[in-house]
Structure 1
Amino acid sequence: MVILFVLLVLAVLVAANWYLWRRLFRDTTQAPGAVRRAGAVLIAGGWALTIAAVATERAGAPFWLQRVLAWPGFLWMALSIYLLLAVVAGEVVRPLLRRFLERRAGAETAVRQPEPVPAGTAPMPDRDPEPEPVPAGTAPTPDPDPDPESAAAAPPPLPSRRLFVSRVVGGAAAAAAVGTVGYGTYGVLKGPTVKRVTVPLAKLPRAAHGYRIAVVSDIHLSPVLGRGFAQKVVDTINGTQPDLIAVVGDLVDGSVKDLGPAAAPLAQLRARHGAYFVTGNHEYFSGAEQWVEEVRRLGMRPLENARTELAHFDLAGVNDVSGESEGQGPDFAKALGDRDTARACVLLAHQPVQIHDAVEHGVDLQLSGHTHGGQLWPGNFIASAANPTLAGLERYGDTQLYVSRGAGAWGPPTRVGAESDITVIELASKQA
């Protein structure tokens, strides 16, 4: 079954890329040549770089090689998605444009028709005299002074209507895709925006009214998003002056050896009651135990299926479900058992799907990430189908779930239709 699935995926990728090549290169040229060959090399080479970027990252290849391959490889991944979407959208425009051109050509032909000559009226002679007839059997006299420059300057034949339409639609699709990916990449690199959300908790005492938790998830430090990006995230969080910082997983895509320097600015995080961390699924691809020790060294407190009692509420954290393969999965009983249920409880859990266990254990608020809000539209439809909440605040029984879209991006450093964010959750007491 796995082999059949892989073959099916490969067949879909090959068909989609052949379709791209056909619409962008074959249909926009009059004959086989350098442009078609260059198009084939561009598409095949782009996907070769994408596969190499993913493979070197997962295999732990030398970091310099990961950095060389990551930018072009992951950007091509995003660009190919929007090229395909734009070309498909062009199929709707193509017949409309062709019909418009046909009507316009028909109207121009009608305008150029000569006026009819009234009956009984002799036609006006042409201004230029007709050439004298050449006697039969006599070869025409060649032009004694031909103008080679005039012949060379003759305009090339105009493209056919079909070729013109293909070039217009293909060019517009390429421009739209490049513009979309460029703007989406700029949005990630400039750093996340700050969202502010008020969450009322029935058990929260009056003294904790207005308590602020800065929630950041999915920073995804990597060969693409490095130390400079981490510094932007830290400065943004510190600028909100939170009471507590919650880092809810997917901090990195790589080893401590490679990305330890990129994560160093996290030591500058400042909050009145400290910074806390739980693992995400990507930590288990990158050496979770090493990263737990590294974030502890940087001044954050990991909550590995653990709970701490703050002044006005309990703060708990569970490991990500991906840790189950290493015997380090979530343990809600360990994190939440034997607690005073009269106190409000805030749970840090990377994936929204963990909400059902949170409800069973009487959690008041779960803070999660993981979804990226879909990251690349229309990926939001897929992410929404796989998660109970895509982004934002929702209620499940007596438990509320807030899902952050995340600060960074996995793979392509690009977001379309899912702006990156850091959320300041302001807790509200119903007794206030």
Structure 2
Amino acid sequence: MRRLFIFLLIINYIANVAYFFARYEIEVPLWLYHLLSLSIGMSFIVMLSSVATIVLRYLLLIPFSRNRRKSVKKMAALGGSVFMVGYSSAAIYEGHLFPQVESVQLTIKNLKQPLKAVQLSDLHIGGLIGESYVRQLVESVNRLQADIIFLTGDMTDSPIHQIATSVALLGDMQSRLGIYYVLGNHEFFHGVSDALGAMQSAGIRSLLNDCAVVDGLINVVGVSDLFGAKLGMPPDLDKALEGVDSSLPTILLAHQPRFVKEFVAQQNAPIDLVLSGHTHGGQIAPFSILVRMQQGFLKGLYSVNERTQLYVNRGTGFWGPPMRLMSRAEITLLELKPS
């Protein structure tokens, strides 16, 4: 049993390495890419299963004499294996579910009329997320009849020349007030200028430390991602706020929610609602614990201060393995109402 486990670990490790080559360096058949991507999630689940086995082993040893410990250890190993199979099966099942529509009702001060907004985030176009998925997503969004659409980063995750058709499909989303987009960290991995150019070609407005006053109703402010600071494109909230109409409510698009604690809350910025993504809601529980520790927020709605609310989208796609657990992908429907 131990030799088999070690052998499987080695195979999984090799698959991990192969996945990153297939993701960023070479093209492989889609079925092979799918299998390689699952190895990333399996690494995390194997780690959890190993911990569960060790804990179970020591718990079961307590009431037994030494001559029965060998059989108890086998029971613990079997229990860990069952846990691993069940856990991974549940994660694969949830990871393959299409994003659910998450309806959120918010009251916004100084809003002149009700607005219906859709937020998409962390779609990660590329790899397993291609034209078919994006086309189905566009159809789902259009059925919601949104007034305005927000894309909060990590929408692309491959060189644009490989996914140009899929990205162009995003321009088929319909809303009377337009589509607004900000960069995530993954756009920096494959060429920021190409990502921005593709969005512009699709009729989507990018906000790079910039502001749009939309139809005399709201200010939409967007900042670069925190990762951009490493590449000379840092977020600049002061610059982004320069063009706002102070009589209107302000919505900030910032990919990483920790931007709120580092900039918005500290500066007491005049912002009514922040929309973020990045966390994937942890994607596979209990990885969510580490994500919350690093970001300060995980998923859903938060009250930052008396004026500012924050909504963190769980992600409309996935990164790495098509696996999720206790964090299903979402399309956020924001029903904004005057206070």
Instruction: Map 1:154-193; keep pairs closer than 5 Å.
Output: 162=69, 164-193=71-100
Deviation string 1:212-262 (CA, Å, 9 cap, x unpaired) is 110111111231222222233222222222111101001122111222234
Indicate the RMSD between aligned Cα atoms, in angstroms. Answer: 2.4
Confirm or deny: 8 A CA contact 2:168 2:198 kept in the other structure.
no
CA apart distance, 1:164: 4.3
| Corresponding position of 2:228 | 323
Q: Is the 8 A contact 1:70 1:223 kept in 2?
A: yes
Q: How does 1:7-406 map to 2 (within 5 A)?
A: 25-26=1-2, 36=3, 38-57=4-23, 60-64=24-28, 67=30, 70-94=33-57, 162=69, 164-205=71-112, 208-209=113-114, 211-311=115-215, 312-356=217-261, 357-359=263-265, 360=267, 361-397=269-305, 398-406=307-315
Percent pairwise identity: 30
The offset of 1:293, in angstroms, is 0.7
Unaligned runs of 5+ in 2: none
* Separation of aligned partners in 1, 2:91 and 2:315: 14
Post-superposition offset of 1:338: 4.3
Number of equivalent positions: 333
Deviates more, 1:361-370 or 1:296-305: 296-305
Uncovered stretches (5+) of structure 1, i.e. residues with no partner:
1-24, 27-35, 103-159
Aligned-partner SS, 1:370: coil
Contact 1:189 1:229 in 2 (8 A): no
Deviation per residue, 1:258-300 (Å, 9 max, x gap): 2223434323211121211110001001211101111221222
Q: Given the superposition, is the C-alpha separation of residues 86 and 62 from structure 1 closer, same or farther in structure 2, using an over 3 Å criterion?
A: closer
* Helix, strand or coil at the partner of 2:39: helix
Distance 2:78 2:138 in 1: 41
Higher relative contact order, structure no. (Cα contacts within 8 Å, ≥ 6 residues apart): 2
Per mean C-alpha deviation after superposition, the further-off stretch among 86-95 and 244-253 is: 86-95
Does the 8 Å CA contact 2:97/2:328 hold for their aligned counterparts?
no
Given the superposition, is the C-alpha separation of residues 259 and 70 from structure 1 closer, same or farther in structure 2, using an over 3 Å criterion? same
Distance, in Å, in 1 between the alignment partners of 2:119 and 2:45 is 31
> Residue by residue, what CA displacement relative to the aligned partner does 1:163-205 show, whole Å, maximum 9, x if unpaired?
5444443333223222322222222222111111111111212
Contact 2:212 2:243 in 1 (8 A): no
Query: What SS does the corresponding residue of 2:298 show, helix, strand or coil?
Result: coil
Question: C-alpha separation between the residues in 1 aligned to 2:55 and 2:218?
Answer: 56
Alpha-carbon distance, 1:349 to partner: 1.0
Within 2, Cα distance between the matches of 1:346 and 1:315?
A: 5
Distance 2:243 2:155 in 1: 30
Question: SS at 1:254's partner residue?
Answer: coil
Alpha-carbon deviations, 1:105-146, whole Å to 9, x = none?
Answer: xxxxxxxxxxxxxxxxxxxxxxxxxxxxxxxxxxxxxxxxxx
Give the residue type in structure 1 aligned to 2:152: V
TM-score for both structures, normalised by structure 1: 0.71
Q: Residues 63 and 165 from structure 1, CA distance in 2 versus in 1: closer, same or farther, beyond 3 angstroms?
A: same
| Distance in 2 (alpha carbons) for counterparts of 1:40 and 1:386 | 32
Which residue is equivalent to 2:338? 429
Contact 1:320 1:349 in 2 (8 A): yes
Larger CA Rg, structure 1 vs 2: 1
SS at match of 2:127: coil
CA contact (8 A) 2:179 2:204 kept: yes
State the secondary structure of the residue aligned to 2:116. strand
